[in-house]
Homo-oligomer: A and B are copies of this chain.
Amino acid sequence: MERVFQALASTPRRKILAYLAHAELSAGDIAARFDMSKPAVSQHLSVLENAGLITSEKRGQFVFYRLLPDALANVLNGYVQEVCPVSRPLKAESRALADKREDQ
Kindly supply a per-residue 1/0 record for chain A positions 73-103, scoring 1 wherever the CB is within 8 Å of any chain B CB and 0 otherwise: 1001101101111110110011001100100
- Closest B residue by C-beta to A9: B9
Interface size on A, residues (CB 8 A): 34
Interface string of A44-71 (1 = CB under 8 A from B): 0000000000000000000000010110
A2 located at the interface, meaning its Cβ lies under 8 Å from any Cβ of chain B in the complex: yes
With the chains together, A79 CA to B8 CA distance in Å?
10
Which residue of chain B lies nearest to A81 when distances are taken between CB atoms in the complex? B73
A8-B5, A14-B5 known; A83+B69 contact, CB < 8 A: yes
| A32 CB–B CB distance under 8 Å | no
Bound Cα distance A55, B76 (Å)? 22
